[in-house]
Structure formats: structure tokens, C-alpha cells
Amino acid sequence: MVNKALHEENRLSWNQATAAHNSHKRDQAKFLREGGSTLFPEEIELLGDIAGLSLVHLQCNSGQDSLSLAQRGAVVTGVDISDTAIAFARRLSEESGIPATFRRMDLYDWLEETAKKTQRFDIAFCSYGAICWLSDLDTWAKGIAAVLTPGGRFVLVEFHPFAMTFDDHWTHKFPYFQGGQVQTWEEGIGDYVADSGTALAPSGYLEGVKNFKNPYRSHEFHWGIGEVVTALLEAGLTITALREYPYANGCKQFERMRETPGGRMIPPEDVPSLPLMYGIAARKGGESIARR
């Protein structure tokens, strides 16, 4: 069941965290205007050629990836629950000169509203810390299927849920099978950009906000890969790719992570290799002009 009350608390927590995150990133508009991109190879490979296609970026945060997708020729709409994030994304679009449309809405409200309209998208995309904010996986998957064109595609690149069974110190602490059970963090969403440094600030890292403390708590929902895949299948989508990766792009989620070329984070030498990220591509039945 969709839990709007917890979404609303998350909105408040994201509003605070987003301002801190962007305080560490140097002149992002200039970076994008000069051809910079915040995308990683994994999502580019799964998305393929998106030039001329309509694309909705679900849970788009502050729009950096959305505008990077627009630079690759897509007609982009970004949706996010955070007021701070969408205000920043709109400003970034204007200042970079890269056009995109941004909507400030609860994702579930946007999916329901859009399904009732005639507008449909060739591609729906989300990535990196998106699934854990979904209180209802089945409604999410059915909503995505409803807003895709016939033959349209869904692409997800996400942190691996198995990695989330470890605490910051690499101790195996949390259960994998939780069925979307809510986990509340009293400290709220943290400043993971400050923790990750240049890997999440390709335009240049700034010290920005120091010792950030979020006044609002946050709520996450743990879903396993099997649950994500099953929800997409039951929504009528066909899985065309499922990838697992032994590294995480950009974000230093745990202590002592080592950064390798391209901003890929791997475990310390004393921790065996484990899946830190996964990717899914899926397709809606029917024919479309969308390239596949």
C-alpha cells in the first residue's frame, strides 16, 4: 500500500539534504553547458540510443542526470518529490541552456495523473537510490507500464539490495528478505556527497556545508531483486537485461571503500567481492518508433 505520510516526511528530509549535496558541487551549469555529463557507462549502455525519444526520469533529484540525458538528444521530463531538488533542476536547466521539463510531485501521484492523460513516454528511467523510497512496488511497476508507449522501455540502475544488508563497517547486520518493510532513520538523509568527494561532484568539489545534520528523519523500504523483477513482470513488462556489478558508481556507501578509475567504488582489500549495483532493462509489448 502506498504510504503518503512517510513520503511526506521523506520530502522534508530530502529538501534539507539536497541543499547540502549541491553545496559541494562547483558551477554545475557551466559544467553541463560545456558538454559535461553526470551519467555513468552502465546506464548509457542499458539506455542505448535515446536521440529524439521522449524520456521520463523518475525520482530525478536535482536534474543533473536529467539534463545529461537531454544532452544525448532525449526530450526529458523529470519528476521528484523534493521542492528543493526541482527548484534547483529548473534553475540548472535555465542556466545551462539545456531544455527539460521538471515536475514536483509524489511519484505515485504523477504516475496516476499521467496514466489518465494521453501523454506517453518511449523510456522511463531511474537510478541510484530510487527503489528504497518506494512504499508500494506493485503500484509503481503498473504505473510505469501505464505511461510507456507500446514498445517503450524501462531502465533501472540501482545499488544492490544485498549490499544494504551490511552496516557502514562491513558487518552483516540487516536481513535481506524484508518485503518492503519500512526502516526509519532518525538521523534522516545524510550528506553522501561530502562522504564521496569528487566522484559525485564531476564539475569540481567544494567544501560546502560542514557537518550536515538533517532535522527530519527518513523512511526506507527494502526490496530484493526478485521482488523488483516480479513486480515489473506482473505489470506486463518483459525483462530484456539483468546485470550485476561488483562496484558502485560514485557513492562511498561504506567505510574504507576504494575508488577506482571512473568513480567506481569497490570494497576494501579485506572484504571479498560482492554485488554492489545492478541494472534492469524491460520492454512493454507492442510496436513503437522507439529504438530498442
| Residue 225 CB partners (closer than 8 Å, separation 6+) | 160, 161, 242, 278
Give the residue ranges of DSSP H helices in the chain. Answer: 4-22, 28-33, 41-47, 64-71, 83-96, 107-115, 137-147, 192-196, 225-234
Residues 16-49 have pLDDT tens digits of 999 999 999 999 999 999 999 999 999 999 999 9
| Domains assigned to the chain | 4-284 (3.40.50.150)
pTM of the full predicted structure? 0.96
pLDDT of residue 272: 95
Q: Which of these, 200, 66, 188, lies nearest to 126 by C-alpha position?
A: 66
- Say if CB 289 and CB 238 are below 8 A apart: no
Coil, strand or helix at 248: strand
Please state, rounded to an integer, the average pLDDT across all residues of the chain.
Answer: 96
pLDDT of residue 292: 40
**CA atoms of 292 and 284, how far apart (whole Å):** 11
